[in-house]
Structure formats: C-alpha cells, structure tokens
Amino acid sequence: MRFNKFAAFVSAASMAVLSAMPVMQANAAAPDLSDFIAEPVFEYFKASDVNGVVGVQLSDDLSAHVEITFDSPEGTAFPYYVTDIKSGGRMLFQIEGYSNTEDDYRSYHISIKLKGGIYNSSASEFVQDFTVPDGNDEPDSFVAVGYNFVVDDKLSTDDIEYLSTTKESGTYKNKKITGELNNYLVHLDGYIKGDVTGEGVVDGSDATLVLKEFGAQLAGDETTLDPRQFAAADIDGNGTVDGSDATLILKYYGLISAGKEPAWDDVIPKN
C-alpha cells in the first residue's frame, strides 16, 4: 500500500491497536491523550496512515525505556519508536495501519524495559507483538488498548504479573476514543531474605553471589549486586555484605537440607 518511498530506500540501501489511558473516575472528563504523543524515529512515518495508538502508563516509582520495531516484506526489526518515559509518566505511540497480506504487511513489536521501586531494580523485559488494520480497508477498525504498570511488593519469581483489563476513554485529536487498558503489577519492592539470585529459594548459589560481592569489595571493584539483591544479601542487617552473610546463608540452607523449616533467628547470632 503506502510504502513506495521506504521500499525504494531499502532497495537502494541493499490484532489490536494500543493506547494507555489513566483510570477514570465516574463522570470525569476524558483526558486529552494528544498531549502525550511520542515522536517516531522511522523516517517514512505518515501521520495520515495512522489507524491506532499504543500507550504506556507508569506509576510514580517506575520509569521505562520503550522501543517499537516492525517486520515487513522489506526486512525485519525496522526501528519505529525509541524513547524513555520518566517516572509516573505516560506516552502515546501513533501506529500506521496495514492490510497485512502476504506481500504488504507490518508485524509490530513493542519492548518495555521497566526500572524503579524502592530498590531502583530492573524488571524483566516486557514484550508484545501486534498488528494494526488498514483504516482504508477497515474504516471502523480504530481501536485503543494500552499498558499500565504499577509497582508492588508481592513475592514472585515472575516480576511482571497481569492483573486485569478495563475499558477506558480519552480524547485523541479532538475525537473521543475508548479502548482496553491492560493493568500489570511489577513486583520490584519485595524480596526473600537470603534469596540473592531471585529464584524463590535460599541455597548455596546465593552464598556464592555474596562471596563474589565481598571479593569485589576487597578488590575495590564495582558492586556485583543491584539494590534489591543487596538487601536480600545483608542477612545480619548491618548495612554491609561480606563473608559473614554468606556463612549465615549456608547455615540456613543446611537446616533446610536437613528437613527443617528454619527462621533466620535460628542462625543469626544474638547480640
């Protein structure tokens, strides 16, 4: 369809539509989403071909790095958007619609790297694939769906957890749109004491990481642990991570291996 310039450039050089919207109070005015539109990095982006929006919304203690790429008959992983969202921010990404036939398609991919919480930790990369229909072929196909991320302290081996989908409304280019807002919890504020690896258990591998960190300190090197790992590794709570913490982890793990259900008070020396 509308791809001639880009196709020429490439030759010479060798589902759903999404939008994040804030949770609405009953009878509240729909927010103007046009205030949060991101700038594409794709040189041949045509605003007249836009048939959907992708949005991302963050809680106040989260920031994000967002990249959107697409595959097409001309190649794969073409950069479309690359941007950062500040803590508590939201951003709207306009997406061009395509008919998605064998010889004329775009498969879009969004990658969201989240960081924040009490320990300023990084979450697993959030990745979604989607397509956007051609508005000329499907005039009533403009749909909005989005991603809302909120930090909590739940203990889980999966640090991004789907919570719910709600219908939300907003104003986009003077038109009211309604779409799906997908809500996710980001488990960045919780940790299991002694579980330095984040695998959900306390064992010898956690002690190994503590000893590696202690060795880095002795050598004057940079820390090997992120802030949340450091909190999990500081068993005696003295604000440092050293060999004594590794010893306590091994004692705790030894009790578990013996079939017991220890508490940390069973291994931490009394003052």
With a CB cutoff of 8 Å and minimum separation 6, the contacts of 136 are 1, 97
With a CB cutoff of 8 Å and minimum separation 6, the contacts of 84 are 63, 64, 65, 66
- The pLDDT score that the predictor gives to residue 44 is 96
**Which tokens go with 108?**
């879009």
- The pLDDT score that the predictor gives to residue 92 is 96
Q: Using the 8-state DSSP alphabet, how is residue 67 labeled?
A: E
The enclosing H or E element of 213 equals: helix 204-218
Contact (CB, 8 A) for 196 and 214: no
Written as one string, the DSSP assignment of 93-158 is EEEE-B--BTTB--EEEEEEEEEETTTTEEPPPEEEEE--B-TTT-TT---EEEEEEEEE----SS
Q: Could you read off the pLDDT of 15-65 as tens digits, one per residue?
A: 333 333 344 333 456 677 778 999 999 999 999 999 999 999 999 999 999
Q: Could you read off the pLDDT of 154-181 as tens digits, one per residue?
A: 987 789 999 999 998 888 888 888 899 9
Return the C-alpha torsion angle 209, 215, 217, 223, nearest 10: -30
How many helices (H) does the chain have, and how many strands (E)? 4, 10
pLDDT < 70 regions, the chain: 1-30, 271
Query: CA-to-CA distance for 229 and 97, rounded, in angstroms?
Result: 43
Q: What percent of the chain has pLDDT over 90?
A: 69
Look at residue 12 and give its three-state secondary structure.
helix
- The pLDDT score that the predictor gives to residue 29 is 61
- The pLDDT score that the predictor gives to residue 246 is 96
CA 147, distance to chain mean position in Å, is: 9
